[in-house]
Structure 1
Amino acid sequence: MRILRCEPAGAPAGEEARVDLDAVLAEAVAPLTGDASLSVAVLSLPARGEGGGEPIAAYGGTTAYDTASIVKVDVLAALLLLAQDEGRQLNGAELGYADAMIRRSDNTSATRLWRVIGGAAGLDAANARLGLTSTTAARAWGLTRTTAPDQVRLLRAVFGPAGGSVLREASRAYVRELMGGVEADQRWGVSAAGTGWALKNGWMPRTTTGLWDINSIGRVTAGGRTRLVAVLSDGHATKEAGIALVESVARAAVAAVGGA
């Protein structure tokens, strides 16, 4: 069911559409969440020859979550920006670490590149350029805090129209290649919502609670359109339960926004 909301006179252009998409998304997702805390954001990219596309639709979009390993995409974007600024290509060691960090989610490689980009300060500086407004880097990279809309903004810098990104096309293509080739046992999450996926997942048990953080970000094709999707969550009793919820929410979110 499409939910329409009337906006007061003088509302900014596009505000009615934004609120409408949020409401449609909430109706689809809220009944699925159970005891976990969860946020999801979806952006439909414009088809070739169209304009700027739809706004980001979000449910729970102001709530920040631990990134766990999804921050590795952000670390790679920061590394590529650094290389661009220095007028160079990634060196052999950096290429090896980047490949392992994204495809295998290797933590040692992520830590090596974290140091190259300048740690938390370097990531925050890169995110200011990438348009991320609600992401705060932590001293331990996996505890970086972010929101689902910010993760979609990061994905847009990689998968969206080239003219709207500070990343060069070669850099964007490299990130897309790695995200499209993650190892078989990590091909869960937003990939459940469509085909042609490219993704990065994050999973982390919290020692203080014994509960799991489960996150998934990426691109899928559904209904003939490219969708950028981020699902962030915590409070899961098991990793498997978290994955099942993230996948069901991703499917519901993409279906709802695609039909809105």
Structure 2
Amino acid sequence: MLNRSLSLVAAVATLLVGAAPAALAADTGSGPADFRTVVAAPHRARVTAAVLDLDGTGREPVVYGDDTPYDTASIVKVDILAAMLLHARDHRRALTARESAEAEVMIRDSDNTAATALWRAIGEAPGLESANKRLGLTSTQGGPGGLWGLTRTTAADQIRLLGAVFGTGPTPLDAASRNRIGTLMSEIATDQSWGVSAAADSGWALKNGWLMRTTTDLWDINSIGRITSGGHHYLVAVLSDGNASMPDGVNLVERAVRTAVSETGAG
């Protein structure tokens, strides 16, 4: 795993002169707190980004910030669908008409009722974790009972999931399953097309997650996907929590993805 940080000096320069994120190329090794400073994460908020350049030579993502677990909220719906497709193939069958309809609204519209149905169909957390072992995820723990949104994951693990869908290496997902997930992620409802798409200059496919924690009234805001920027194709995951509101979290995630993709492209 590569861990990258951005310098506080560059952050100050950005704030003063409005330099583009691509100018923040210096890596002083001063720790992940610098990334939080560059993207201006509020005091109570945490944010981590992971980026993998599919056109580069590296096979591990660059991680900006601490790669510690976050609640998934609705980004877990991509994982649920991948697990469902594996489950169906293991039983030598296609998704039923009902399962297909649930998969479509779960990804495109982030429908929670559909997610709950498919979560139960895969066997809840144990089923998800069994599928994730096959998909190469190592740091994702399914939520308790029916609480799929409280699944815990890391940014690097989300890149592993995206790699199973969009990457070029071996994956237990067959071509039809990969195409199905990728197509649905490129057809997200218009009002949900924020997040990692903020760093794209052409195509993107994504899934976002948002959840207000009732224990704190603070928001988890996450975004994962595949984008095209500067002629390169990237897998990107940005996870955040402790946001005062959903708009604050969306703004934080979009600042983070622009900075992380720009820095990765400049590296």
Aligned length: 238
Query: How far off its partner does 1:22 sit?
Result: 5.6
Structure 1 residues 156, 22: CA separation in 2 closer, same or farther (over 3 Å shift)? farther
Shift in Å, 1:206: 0.7
Alpha-carbon distance between aligned partners in 2 of 1:219 and 1:120, rounded to the nearest angstrom: 25
Q: 1:153 aligns with which of 151, 155, 160?
A: 160
Alignment of 1:221-260 (within 5 A): 221-260=228-267
Quote the Cα distance in structure 1 between the aligned partners of 2:143 and 2:61: 26
CA contact (8 A) 2:219 2:242 kept: yes
Aligned: 1:191 with 2:219: no
Q: 1:174 aligned to 174, 180, 198, which one?
A: 180
Q: Distance in 2 between matches of 1:28 and 1:205?
A: 24
- Is 2:103 aligned against 1:98? yes
Equivalent residue of 1:164, what SS? coil
**Aligned: 1:115 with 2:123:** no
Residue number among 78, 85, 89 corresponding to 2:94 in the alignment? 89
Tell me how far apart the structure 1 counterparts of residues 46 and 240 of structure 2 sit (CA, whole Å): 6
- Preserved CA contact (<8 Å) 2:217 2:244: yes
Equivalent AA in structure 1 for residue 104 of structure 2: D
Give the structure 1 partner of residue 38 of structure 2: 31
State the Cα distance separating 1:158 from its structure 2 match: 0.3
- Cα separation, 2, equivalents of 1:220 and 1:233: 19
Deviations along 1:90-147, one digit per CA (max 9) or x if unpaired, are 1100000000100000000000000110111000100111111000001210000000
1:61 and 1:158 map into 2 onto residues whose CA distance is 24
The equivalent residue for 1:6 is: none
Show structure 1 runs of 5+ residues with no match: 1-14
Whether the aligned pair in 2 keeps the contact of 1:61 and 1:149 (CA below 8 Å) is: no
Is residue 45 of structure 1 aligned with residue 45 of structure 2? no
SS of the residue 2:203 aligns to: strand
Measured at CA, do residues 114 and 122 of structure 1 come closer, stay the same or move farther in structure 2, by a change above 3 Å?
same
TM-score of the pair, normalised by structure 2? 0.85
Q: 1:45, 1:28 → 2: CA distance?
A: 22
Letter in 2 for 1:179: M
Partner residue of 1:143? 150
Distance (whole Å) between structure 1 residues aligned to residue 77 and residue 98 of structure 2: 16
Q: What is the aligned-residue RMSD (CA, Å)? A: 1.7
Q: 2:220 aligns with which of 208, 213, 223?
A: 213
Change in CA separation of 1:175 and 1:61 when aligned onto 2, cut-off 3 Å? farther
1:40–1:232 contact (8 Å) kept in structure 2:
yes
* One-letter identity of the residue aligned with 2:232: R
Aligned to 1:59: 64
Confirm or deny: 8 A CA contact 1:66 1:145 kept in the other structure. yes
Task: Provide Cα deviations, 1:221-260, integer angstroms capped at 9, x if missing partner.
Answer: 0121110000000111110010011001100100000110
2:125 is aligned with what amino acid?
A
Are the counterparts in 1 of residues 5 and 35 from structure 2 also a CA contact under 8 Å?
no
Kindly tell me: are residues 131 and 30 of structure 1, through their superposed partners in 2, closer, same or farther at Cα, counting changes over 3 Å?
farther
Of all paired residues, the percent bearing the same amino acid is: 54
Distance 2:37 2:79 in 1: 28
State the shift of 1:54 in Å. Answer: 4.3
SS in 1 for 2:172: coil
- Farther off after superposition, 21-30 or 181-190: 21-30
Query: Take 2:64 and 2:219, find their aligned partners in 1: how far apart are those partners?
Result: 20
Q: CA deviation at 1:55?
A: 2.2
